[in-house]
Structure 1
Amino acid sequence: MKVLLVSIGTRGDIEPFLAQAELLRKADHEVVCLFPEQFRETVEKMGMEFLGLDRRFLEMLDSSVGKSVMGGGGNAFATIRNFFRLMKNSLGLQKTLIHQQKDAIDATQPDRVVFHPKALYCTLPAMAEPRKYFQLSPIPNLIHPHPSYQHLSLSKWKPFSEKWNLKTYDWVNGSRYIAFNKFVKPYFKDFPGIAFSTKAIKNFELHQLQVLYQISPTLYPKPANWPECAYITGFFARDQNRDFLPDPELSAWLAKHPKAILLTFGSMSNPKPLEISTQLIGLLEKHGIPAVVNLSWGGLQKIESSGESIYYVNQVPYDWILPQLYGIIHHGGSGTTHSAAKSAAVQLIVPHIMDQYFWNRLVRDNGLGPLGTSIHNFDADQFEQALLEFWNNPEYKAAAKATAEKMTHEADPQALIHLITD
């Protein structure tokens, strides 16, 4: 069976699809990946066909304007101004991305399509052939309402009452449907007999669209009000440990520091990486907390004056290093949160944007770590209090081990493959 995977965004958006591609390939299905051009080498090394989306999308996110919106940390006026600049710059590009999605589907003629929520065009053919299309989402609280949580775009604020939490889905998605129609309306004519009214799209997403939430049911049990077409499949990650050869110096450092942590902001950035890094690493050294610091995309920077208890890396596979550590301080992306939970690592989140505030609360609610402090207007004193709680409370490690044990058998690859291909 030929399966087309379509995803748009940064590494956090692509990794769940790479994991899905790996599973499908092992099951002897033909896999074609339509991702941003920057991921061509990764996909082709995995031995799969790659179709490239316009590379300008990621370049735009990596610009100073994009980093301001993605990383936060600046004043509210600058963030709002840059958000609208980013939206303006993305309008023409979105039309290109939509057309590329259509061309890929037409050219490959796939038996199944698995697409990211950002892949707008895919909703149209999904409404025409709902059994052929699956939306894969690494985050909840977008389409299907949860009475305990507001829509994910509003997760920076504390949850409201059950009534108002549920209303936020209508408000946010109502606006999204208007924008959706603006972008894909030229393609309505290709699907005669299908109603693309706002009401019809809402009804389709809520009751017919097959959504694969690749999240842990241990961390986030399926709500009773969700339909059968919404699946919580468990967390899947590709095996990045297979070809990894650790630096002998890093292995020796880990042996010397049996209770160490990982500090990483993943693909997030912020306007003050040197200042934030100085504060974070200074507090780690002050309290004798040894740490591996993942510099990655530049959200953290090397502090030349740091001592032997701080070890810097440019990238390291989470599935290799996390099982060897006490815990992790991170930005709160879905993949990182799940990898840490699966590895029994205690967590402290410094949320930057949208869903990261949700995972911050979920970590706290599951007893896996204290509530972290936002990167916006970062407060070193508040972070220090959370850091000491993270480091010294033994209940967090006990809860992390119990959670990891529950997660061991919850993600069934064969069940997921069967769901997509049957």
Structure 2
Amino acid sequence: MHITIFVYGTWGDIRPHVVLGMALQKAGHEVQVVASPGYEQWVRDRDLGFYPLTTDVNTFARENADLMDKGFISQLQTLRTRIAPLLVQMGLEVMEATRDSDVLMTVEFGASLLLDVITANKLKPIFINPAPINPTRTSNTVLPAKPGWFPFEGWYNRLGYTVLRQSSWRALAGGRNPLAKQLGLPKSGYKDFRAVVDTAPALTTVSRHVFQRPADWDDRWQVTGFLFDDDPTWAPPQDLVDFLETDEAPVYIGFGSMPDSKPQATTRMIMDAVRKAGKRAVILTGWAGLGANDVPENIHILKYAPHSWLFPKMAVIVHHGGSGTTASGMRAGVPTVVIPHQGDQGFWGRTVKRLGVGTNPIPRKKLTVESLAAAITEATTNRAMQVNARALGEKISAEDGLEETIKWVERFLS
């Protein structure tokens, strides 16, 4: 079959999808990736087809870093005005890219924009979700914890998924409705969206040791395990090797693809927190552009290193709570401190705490020298947390999420 994988996101989003695409192509399918143009060479080097989108997500994130300073409602309102024309263009490009495709793989959120493309090109959707977002009464992965006074836990849990789906449907209306008009199609309704997402296969690529498949899920919804891209040919620069060998294991601090409107101030805050905790640290520059000219000896600024190589050498992993980074941190078997910025990152922060492998999450807007230093101290001194993290890492390392994912994809396609 001809399979298109649509990924509008960051490195953390595209890497596991490309790993999946390579395995599907090895199994005999023809696979192409539709993503931002900055990923084209990297994808083609892995012998997959590629269809470039006009918009580069990296550029968009840098130009809109101020969104991180706003509240959730303000973010949605701003995105509607800034991103709507880009969404229309994106939808038209996916429409063209998938004319000869049989299957479209993307996150469920993507169907909020591409519903008419799925219908017009007669595509079979398979959702690849890096976090649990299929409705269930048995667990809550969307809303904050249920208030103690509220008696109906199952109803409250399902409410979260309804809110999530309706929010995504409304948030992308500014792109979806003009797209339908340009395609000559009638405007789709929320019932049309529900008809697709309630019946399409969906694979939650999360370890069963982190999230157990709910008993009330349909057989089309499965939990398969994390997908990792380990970059085995990478070699570390000598200055990084020297820093790691100089003293005790450092703390890793990086916010991945999260932009920052004040990177210098954030860098200074991080370095002050590390000093206050009496530790050393490796700080990832990331899309935030962290770094400074006057870096003390206990700090090493890093542009890139594979999580699989770096994280096991750390004492603690401090990060934004992206699904891929969280998975890598758990597999490494060291404690985690999550600084959620947006989206599902709050869920991952709560999950880390629930599993006993990390501290309470610190929302980005509440991050201070004192709170970060306290979290680092807790994670480096809490013996039970360290034991739990090591045990979970061993369990995740023994899984093969890719093999399990391929098994279910093939079953859905047969």
TM-score class, shorter-chain normalisation, is 0.7 to 0.9
Structure 2 partner of 1:166: 158
RMSD: 2.8
Q: What residue is the counterpart of 2:191 in the other structure?
A: 199
Q: Find out whether 1:105 has 2:105 as its counterpart.
A: no
2:132 is matched with which residue: 102, 118, 140? 140
Which residue does 1:18 correspond to in 2?
18
1:234 aligns with 2:225: yes
Alpha carbons of structure 1 residues 412 and 314: separation in structure 2 relative to 1, 3 Å = closer
Q: Is the alpha carbon distance of 1:299 and 1:231 closer, same or farther for their aligned partners in structure 2, counting shifts above 3 Å? A: farther
Segment drifting more, 354-363 vs 40-49: 40-49
Could you give the per-residue CA deviations for residues 120-153 of structure 1, whole angstroms, max 9, x where no partner exists?
A: 3544465699993311111223x424554253xx
- 1:11-50 correspondence to structure 2 within 5 Å: 11-50=11-50
Instruction: Give a deviation string over 1:284-343, Cα, whole Å, max 9, x none.
Output: 123331221111223522361412x21111111111111222221111110000001011
Q: 1:252 aligns with which of 237, 242, 247?
A: 242
The list of structure 1 runs, each at least 4 consecutive aligned residues, that deviate by more than 6 angstroms after superposition, is 127-131, 187-191
Query: Is the deviation greater in 53-62 or in 285-294?
Result: 53-62
Change (3 A) 1:187 1:144: farther
Residue 204 (structure 2) aligns with: 213
| Alpha-carbon spacing, 1:171–1:261, altered in 2? closer, same or farther (3 Å) | closer
**Residue type at the aligned position of 1:199:** K
By how many angstroms is 1:221 displaced?
1.1
Which residue number in structure 2 is paired with residue 67 of structure 1?
Answer: 65
Quick check: 1:85 aligned with 2:58? no
**Aligned-partner residue type, residue 354 of structure 1:** G
CA distance in 2, matches of 1:281, 1:251: 20
Separation (CA, whole Å) in 1 of partners of 2:408 and 2:159:
31
Query: Could you tell me which of 277, 283, 301 is aligned with 1:287?
Result: 277
- Distance (whole Å) between structure 1 residues aligned to residue 294 and residue 48 of structure 2: 41
Residue 273 (structure 1) shift: 2.0
User: Is the contact made by 2:10 and 2:57 (CA closer than 8 Å) also made in structure 1?
Assistant: no
Answer yes or no: is the 8 Å Cα contact 1:19–1:238 preserved in 2.
Answer: yes
User: Structure 1 length normalisation: TM-score?
Assistant: 0.86
Output the CA distance in 2 between the equivalents of 1:197 and 1:81.
25
One-letter amino acid of the counterpart of residue 166, structure 2? G
| Maintained 8 Å contact 1:233/1:416 | yes
**How far apart, CA to CA, are the structure 2 residues paired with 1:189 and 1:204?**
20
In 2, distance between residues paired with 1:234 and 1:415?
A: 7
Distance in 2 (alpha carbons) for counterparts of 1:296 and 1:170: 33
SS of corresponding position for 1:51: strand
Aligned to 1:416: 405
Q: Does 1:395 align with 2:384?
A: yes
**1:198-218 Cα distance to aligned partner (Å, 9 max, x none):** 334324312x11111111111
Gaps of 5+ in 1: none
Q: How many angstroms apart in 2 are the aligned matches of 1:248 and 1:199?
A: 57
Q: Is the 8 A contact 1:7 1:118 kept in 2?
A: no
2:264 corresponds, among 271, 274, 283, to 274
- The 8 Å contact of residues 57 and 93 in structure 1, kept in 2 or not, is answered as no
Match of 2:7 in 1: 7
Q: Tell me how far apart the structure 2 counterparts of residues 262 and 62 of structure 1 sit (CA, whole Å).
A: 23
Question: Contact between 1:212 and 1:233, CA under 8 Å: does it hold in 2?
Answer: yes
- Which structure 2 residues correspond to residues 301-380 of structure 1 after superposition, within 5 A? 301-302=291-292, 304-307=294-297, 309-380=298-369
> Is 404-413 or 347-356 further displaced after alignment?
404-413
Match in the other structure for 1:224: 215
- For residues 68-124 of structure 1, the C-alpha deviation after alignment (integer angstroms, 9 at most, x for no partner) is 22xx2x364xx7556423321211221111111111111xx2343312334335444
1:150–1:238 distance in 2 versus 1, CA, 3 Å: closer
- Given the alignment of the two structures, is residue 385 of structure 1 paired with residue 371 of structure 2, yes or no? no
